[in-house]
Amino acid sequence: MDNLEIAKTEQEYTADEIQVLEGLEAVRKRPGMYIGTTGPDGLHHLVYEIVDNSIDEALAGYCDKIEVTILPDNIIRVSDNGRGIPVGINQKMGMPAVTVVFTVLHAGGKFGGGGYKVSGGLHGVGASVVNALSTWLEVKVCDGEKIYRQRYERGNIVSDLEVIGETTSRGTEVTFKADPEIFKETVVYDYAVLEKRLREQAFLNAGIHIVLKDERDENPENHKSESLCFEGGISSFVEYIHRRKSVDLLHENIIYFAAANEENTSSAEIAFQYNTDYTDTILSFANNIRTKEGGTHEEGFKRAITTVMNEYARKLKFLKDSDKNLLGEDFREGMTAVISVKLREAQFEGQTKAKLGNTDIRALVYNVVNEKLRTYFDEHTDVAKLILEKACQAALAREKARHARELVRRKSPLENASLPGKLADCQSRNPEETEVYIVEGDSAGGSAKNGRDRKYQAILPLWGKMLNVEKVREDKIIGNDKLMPVITALGTGIKSDFDITKLRYGKVIIMADADVDGSHIRTLLLTFFFRFMKPLVEQGHVYIAQPPLYRVTKGKTNHYYAYSDEERDRILRELNCKTEIQRYKGLGEMDPEQLWETTMNPDTRIMLKVTVEDAEAADETFKILMGEKVEPRRMFIEENAKYVQNLDI
C-alpha cells in the first residue's frame, strides 16, 4: 500500500502538467514524428524535403534546374531556378511569406491547389522542419528584381528579411547545417545515398536537370559532381536498372503506358520490361515520392497485370479453359517496373510518405494497364508469348516448391522434431524477446553457444559452401542442406508460403568474420532474405552483428576493443603507452567471454539493422559478383578496389 501511494505521488497528473509547445518546439521535441528517425535516414531526409520543394516547382512548370551541393563541414546548399518563394507580406500572419514557410508548421502554397496543382509536399511542414532541426539555415530568394536573404538558428529568426542585391533571375537557394544536438549519431552525408535519390527524381521528371556536387574535400581535384538529366523519363529508369543489374532481357522494347483522368487532376505513367531473372523489381512513386511500401497505385498495376495476362494465357493456348488462373507472382517473375502517379490531393501514410492511400488512383492505374496492355499484346503477340511462357515456367516451379514443402512436412510432422540439429535453441518462446545468431563456422558457433544468454539467445552455425542463390527459383531452395536449417529455424517459410506470424525469433542476427569471406557470407544471406523472405527485412527483423577488429591490451587486466582502424588509432593515442594489439581474423579467435562482451551483450554490442535499401544493394552487388557475365564484375572490382580496407592477404 505504501509503495502504491508513493507511485501515485511521483506520477501526479494536474493541469499544470499540460505543456503547450510553441512554434517549432514540437519538432525539436519529437523529431521522429516528422522525419521518421534521427539516424542517417532522417539526416538525408532533410535534403529530400528541400529538394522536393524545388521538384514541386518543376511539376508546376516553373523550374528546370536544381543544384544540390555538399559543402565543407557537411553544410547543404539547394538552389533552383523556379519562381522563388514569395517575399510579400502574408496578411494572415503579418510577416513575409518566406518567413511563414520556414517558421510556421503546416504553412505553404500546396493546400488550396492554386499555386501547385500537383506536389509531393502536402503537409506544409518540410521547410519548417528542416529549419527547426538545423543549427542554422539561410534562405535567399530571387524574384527577378531583387535578392532577399533571411537567417534562422534552430528555427528561430535571427535576422529580418533583407535585400542584399539586384538580379534579373528567379529562384530559391536554401543553405543549412543539420543540428548535432538532434542528429547525435552522425551529421555526415553519404554522397551515394543522395545521388541515388536525385537520380530517381531526374528519371521521374523527364528533361529536368539535377546537379549533385560534393565539395567537402580540401583538394578541389577530389570534388565529385554528377549531372543528371533523362529525356526518356521512367523508360530510361527501367533501362538503367537493367543495365545496373546486368541481366539478359526477355524482349527488346520497354512497354510504356500513360494516361490522365477526365478531370486532369491525376495522371499515371507505367514502364516495364522483362528479363530472364527470377526476381521482380517494382518501384512506385507518387508525386515523385518513393512509396517504399507501395499503395493503391501498385495494387492497381498488379491486379491489371494478373487479369490481362491470365486472359491472354487462355487466348494464346498457354492455359486451358479448365485450368486454374496463374498467380500474380508468376506474371511478375523477371519484371522490372516503374510506376509514377501524380495527383492533386495525395494521401500518404505519415510525413515520411511510405505508402499511398488514394482509392481513385487504384482505378486509374488499373484501367490504364488493363486497356493498353490488351492493345499492346494484340500488336505484339511475340512479346506476349515470351512473357507467358516464362510465367508458366514460374508457375511450374512454384508447384514443385509446394510439393517439396509438403514432402518435408510429411517427413517432419512435429514442429520441434523438425528443428535443425545444430541449432542451440533458447529457453524463451516469446518472439518479442528472443534472437537467433546465424554464425559462420562451427568454431565461432561453439564460442557463441558458450557465451550466450541461453534464455533469450539461440545459435545456428552454418558450415560449408552456401547455395549460390543467383538464378535460383524457390523449388531449388526447398531441401537445400545449407539453407533449409535457416528456413526451419525461423519457422516462417519462404516466398508465397511466408508467414511472419510464425517467426520464432524477433531478431535474426548475421554474425560473420570481419574479412572477405565473412562479407561474402553476409551478402549471400542478405540476398537470400531479400529474395525469399522479404517481409523479414521490410519489418526490421534482420541485423548484422559488428564484431571488433582489434583487442588492445594495457598491462594484464585492461582491455579495449576497436571496431575500425580509426578507433584503434584513437585508443592508442589516448593510452599513450606500451600496449599489445591483437587483430581478430575470425570470430573463432574469441573466447566465449570476449564474444559476449563485444558482440552479443545487448547492453554493450553494436548491431546494424538491415533496411530494404541495404538488401537491395546486397542483391545488386551479388548479381554482379556472382553472375555469369565477366565484364560487369571486372568493372565493379576496378571501380571499388580503392575503397577496400582491412584486406587479409
Q: What is the pLDDT of residue 433?
A: 94
Q: What is the pLDDT of residue 199?
A: 95
CA distance 424 to 504: 13
- In the chain, domain spans: 25-228, 233-403, 415-547+593-643, 550-583
**Does position 572 have pLDDT exceeding 60, yes or no?**
yes
3-state class (DSSP) for residue 254: coil
What's the whole-number average pLDDT of the chain? 84
What CATH number does the domain located at 25-228 have?
A: 3.30.565.10
Worst-scoring range by mean pLDDT, 53-67, 151-165, 301-315?
53-67
**Does position 71 have pLDDT exceeding 70, yes or no?**
yes
Q: Confidence band (pLDDT; 50, 70, 90) for 454?
A: very high
CA distance 126 to 75: 18
The dihedral over CA atoms of 508, 511, 515, 516, expressed in degrees to the nearest 10, equals: -40
Q: List 163's β-bridge partners, or say none.
A: 148
Q: How many distinct helices (H) and strands (E) make up the chain?
A: 21, 24
Active-site residue, 371 included: no
Per-residue b or e along 191-217, where b marks 16 or more CB atoms closer than 10 Å to that residue's CB: eeebbebbbbbbbbbbebbbbbbbbbe
CA distance 110 to 383: 43
Q: Which of the following is catalytic: 57, 214, 513, 619?
A: 513
For residue 557 the three cell numbers come to: 587486466
Q: What is the pLDDT of residue 26?
A: 82
Q: Confidence band (pLDDT; 50, 70, 90) for 406?
A: confident
Worst-scoring range by mean pLDDT, 231-245, 259-273, 347-361, 578-592?
347-361
User: In Å, how far from its chain's centre is CA 212?
Assistant: 20
The DSSP annotation for 281-350 comes to EEEEEETTEE-TT-BHHHHHHHHHHHHHHHHHHHHTTSS-TTSPPPPHHHHHTTEEEEEEEEETT--BST
Residues 194 and 44 sit within 8 Å (Cβ to Cβ): yes
DSSP state of 465: P
CA distance 331 to 388: 7
Active-site residue, 73 included: no
Residues 361 and 297 sit within 8 Å (Cβ to Cβ): yes
The DSSP annotation for 363-421 comes to HHHHHHHHHHHHHHHHH-HHHHHHHHHHHHHHHHHHHHHHHHHHHHHHH--STGGGS-T
Query: Which listed CATH number (3.100.10.10, 3.30.1340.30, 3.20.20.70, 3.30.230.10) goes with 233-403?
Result: 3.30.230.10
Q: Confidence band (pLDDT; 50, 70, 90) for 629?
A: low
Q: What's the residue count for the chain?
A: 649
Q: Confidence band (pLDDT; 50, 70, 90) for 437?
A: very high
CB neighbours of 568 closer than 8 A, spacing ≥ 6? 549, 550, 552, 562, 581
CB neighbours of 182 closer than 8 A, spacing ≥ 6? 28, 31, 38, 133
β 335-343/281-286 pair status: parallel
Q: Confidence band (pLDDT; 50, 70, 90) for 386?
A: very high
* Strand (E) or helix (H) holding 121: none
CA distance 296 to 255: 21
Worst-scoring range by mean pLDDT, 39-53, 315-329, 431-445, 464-478?
464-478
β 162-166/457-462 pair status: unpaired
CA distance 464 to 325: 40
CA distance 395 to 313: 12
For residue 368 the three cell numbers come to: 490504364
**Does position 377 have pLDDT exceeding 90, yes or no?**
yes
CA distance 71 to 149: 19
CB atoms within 10 A of CB 61: 9
| Dihedral angle sign, alpha carbons of residues 371, 375, 378, 380 | negative
Q: Which of the following is catalytic: 371, 497, 515, 589?
A: 515
Average pLDDT over residues 367-373: 97
Q: What is the pLDDT of residue 642?
A: 39
Active-site residue, 591 included: no
Which CATH architecture group holds 415-547+593-643?
Answer: 3-Layer(aba) Sandwich (3.40)
CA distance 59 to 286: 12
Q: Which of the following is catalytic: 349, 399, 442, 517?
A: 517
**Does position 640 have pLDDT exceeding 60, yes or no?**
no
Tell me, yes or no, if the two domains 25-228 and 415-547+593-643 fold the same way. Answer: no
For residue 262 the three cell numbers come to: 477526365
Residue 640 one-letter amino acid: N
CA distance 543 to 547: 13
Worst-scoring range by mean pLDDT, 60-69, 129-138, 372-381, 562-571?
562-571
Active-site residue, 515 included: yes
Worst-scoring range by mean pLDDT, 134-138, 432-436, 565-569?
565-569
Nearest by Cα to 338 from 439, 230, 444, 434: 230
Average pLDDT over residues 389-416: 74
* Secondary structure (H, E, C), 504-527: CCCEEEEECCCCHHHHHHHHHHHH
Q: Which of the following is catalytic: 138, 440, 474, 619?
A: 440
Residues 440 and 590 sit within 8 Å (Cβ to Cβ): no
Q: What is the pLDDT of residue 12?
A: 53
Tell me the CB-side half-sphere exposure of residue 473, using CA atoms within 13 A: 21
Q: Confidence band (pLDDT; 50, 70, 90) for 350?
A: low
**Does position 649 have pLDDT exceeding 50, yes or no?**
no
